[in-house]
Structure 1
Amino acid sequence: MRKNLNYSQAELAEKLDVSTQAVSKWETGASLPDIEKLLNISWICNTSINAILEGDNFFDENINIDRGLMHLNKLLICPKCKKQMKLKIQKNDTLIYECENNHQYYVVDGVVDFRTREISGEQWSLSYRNYEEYMHEQYGPCNPNYNRGLNQSEVIWEKISELRPRVILDIACGTGQGIKHQIKRINWPVIIIMVDLSHRILKWNKIFYSTEWKNPYVEMIYLACDGANLPILSESVDLVFSYSGYESMQAKMLDGFREANRVLKNEKHTIYNKSVIESFESENSKKWMNLLLASVNEEEKEWWKSEFNDMEHWLNICISSGFLENKSIQIYGELPAPDCETFPFENEMAQWMAEYIFISKKLRT
């Protein structure tokens, strides 16, 4: 605002009868002017106090805009050219984000739509009733596979409540089954950005988290985009959360993991669950791997070989991706390998593996 009027900090300070240091602190957010000074700034700049305090987040138009969408003015970049994007209002109150190269992305049903599509075979939003039944069956009290070990939600909450992040990104969030239990307990101001390929599942999330699961401390934002090419400014996020999100990205998992590192501020964390093999040298692990590989075709066999990670291998990947400090909490260990020649699971092929919660910290070298 000052620059638009061609005032230096010293010139504006003189007009307001304050020090240059005071103007500098206002502009960096270190302090705010008192109400008398705000009124004077409003008069000098010919604008409202709301516009001064909210900057690009303030719209004079009489239109209902989610505050979360306005927060994105400070976070969103174009996935094509990497230039910063700003929220604009078109005719008929249509909302778009546009960069200086005129790449445009519409806000559709409260979700910023970067025109991505669901992974083939994972059409969750087309078969949501069946998915609900599947979740009820898989997570029900009669299924022992999901009732062994520590309570994942409690382990995750303990770390999140300790870190108290202000901006959380839930990568490849799906229906938000992991972050859902954290949202319920958050008691400090937080922005949560839910990211998924599927616009339709995010549209459902927006309805659910703004009605049935609303927390007044939490501002929700929804981006239908590729987690391997996040439209988020580098070093702008306090925590990247993943509840099976990285793994669900399949061939793009490591790209998503590196993107998480890019958008995180230095010394901030990604918290995620992951299935891993205890050790490639373990007899139990070897038997499981052989049984699994014998049960799939040649194409799937090569994919599984590339997906197998034991603890040592995964920690090396973390370090090479920029996460130099890594902690892990075992939820449960590997199942004992069965004394048979046939792989015992038709679905959930990794459920024999150990399950860990990882807390990986970004550190610049």
Structure 2
Amino acid sequence: MNQKKLEKDFLDSIVEEVRKLKSGFLLDIASGRGMLLRELLKDIDADVTVISTDLSFQILKHDRNKLRQINPYVKVNYIACDATNLPIRDCSMDTACTYAGFTNMANLMESGIRDTARVLKANAPLINSAVYMDENAEGAKKTAHFFAENHMEGAEKIYLRNELLAIHKKYFNTVRERIIYEGIAEAVEGDLIPCGGDWFANVVLIAE
């Protein structure tokens, strides 16, 4: 499947879940280049206030300048911060979401999920994107080697279904999976995972 189509389906599925929020506070974790934020702003209700976070102040400044015209009726607050230590009150967010934010945190993923659970109201959802791999696949082995070389031993668990579900269930009562796509990967130059010929699945996890 075309990479852009995979990306669009991933983003559309997250937005579909977020759309259920009609008012309150929406936390976008690790907004990065604003790919998810752009799609959210096209769709969400004007009574929703968005909190966009990222480690980089410069990236958030770029996002603000680029996205401010998409939906002038939605208030967006930009906060440069560490997703493992959010400067947000306990139990104050109505929904949290991320597109690849936790995955990019590698061995810090669980710390990010734990702190997100802290700031969410009771039973409020975390909508998280994930990529599943087979733990015996070539991509999983390469990923384990890469993480070990970079002093992040064991971080490859962020791509293993059972490990991911276990992490979410530590901090939330229920976890629902939406498989967006699964198939055999084609080799993409520069991508560590998935390796060409490996099975993979793009999944949205909804934890409450």
Class of the TM-score when normalised by the shorter of the 2 chains: 0.7 to 0.9
Residues 230 and 146 from structure 1, CA distance in 2 versus in 1: closer, same or farther, beyond 3 angstroms? same
1:328–1:356: 8 Å Cα contact kept in structure 2? Answer: yes
What are the equivalent positions in structure 2 for 1:272-287 lying under 5 Å apart?
Answer: 272-277=128-133, 279-280=134-135, 285-287=136-138
- Contact preservation (8 Å) 2:140, 2:156: no
Distance of 1:171 and 1:293 partners within structure 2: 24
Q: Which residue, 175, 192, 199 being the options, matches 1:349? A: 192
Aligned residue identity for 2:155: S
Note closer, same or farther for the CA distance 1:167–1:144 as it changes in structure 2 (3 Å cut).
Answer: same
- In the alignment, what sits opposite 2:176? 327
Would the aligned equivalents of 1:149 and 1:331 in 2 still touch at CA under 8 Å?
no
Unpaired runs of at least 5, structure 1: 1-142, 339-343
**Greater RCO, 1 or 2 (C-alpha within 8 Å, sep 6+):** 2
Alpha-carbon separation, structure 1, partners of 2:27 and 2:7: 27
Q: Once the 2 structures are TM-superposed, how far is the Cα of residue 232 of structure 1 from its aligned partner?
A: 0.3
Amino acid at match of 2:67: Y
Residue 224 in structure 1 maps to residue 80 in structure 2: yes
Q: 1:298 to 1:327 in 2, by over 3 A?
A: closer
**What is the aligned partner in structure 1 of residue 64 from structure 2?**
206
CA RMSD, 1 decimal: 2.6
State the TM-score, normalizing by the size of structure 2. 0.85
For the residues of structure 2 that align with 1:221 and 1:177, how far apart are their CA atoms?
16
Query: Equivalent residue for 2:32?
Result: 174
- What pairs with 1:1-365 in structure 2 (closer than 5 Å)? 144-148=2-6, 151-210=9-68, 212-216=69-73, 218-277=74-133, 279-280=134-135, 285-290=136-141, 292=142, 296=146, 299-300=149-150, 303=152, 305-308=154-157, 309-320=159-170, 322-335=171-184, 344-352=187-195, 353-361=200-208
- In the superposition, relative to structure 1, how do residues 172 and 345 fare at CA in structure 2: closer, same or farther (>3 Å)? same
- Distance in 1 (CA, whole Å) between partners of 2:63 and 2:7 is 29
Q: 1:275: Cα distance to partner?
A: 1.1
Q: Offset at 1:188?
A: 3.6
Distance between the aligned counterparts of 1:224 and 1:293, measured in 2? 29
Q: Deviations over 1:249-278 (max 9, x none)?
A: 23322111111000000010111211122x
Q: CA deviation at 1:214?
A: 3.0
Query: How many residue pairs are counted as aligned between the two chains?
Result: 203
* TM score, norm. by length of structure 1: 0.50
Q: Which runs of 5+ in 2 are unaligned?
A: none
Letter in 2 for 1:306: A
What displacement does 1:241 show? 1.1
The structural deviation recorded for 1:150 is 7.7
8 Å Cα contact 2:98/2:129 also seen in 1: yes
1:234, CA displacement in angstroms?
A: 0.2
- Aligned pair in 2 of structure 1 residues 200, 232: CA closer, same or farther (>3 Å)? same
Identity of aligned residues (%): 26
Q: Deviations over 1:90-135 (max 9, x none)?
A: xxxxxxxxxxxxxxxxxxxxxxxxxxxxxxxxxxxxxxxxxxxxxx
Q: Which one has the largest radius of gyration?
A: 1
C-alpha contact 2:139 2:193 (8 A) present in aligned 1 = no
- 152-161 or 231-240, which deviates more: 152-161
> Are residues 331 and 220 of structure 1, via their aligned partners in 2, closer, same or farther at CA, if it must alter by over 3 Å?
same
Q: Is the 8 A contact 1:293 1:304 kept in 2?
A: no
Q: Relative to 1, partners in 2 of residues 1:151 and 1:199: Cα closer, same or farther, differing over 3 Å?
A: same
Partner SS state of residue 153, structure 1: helix
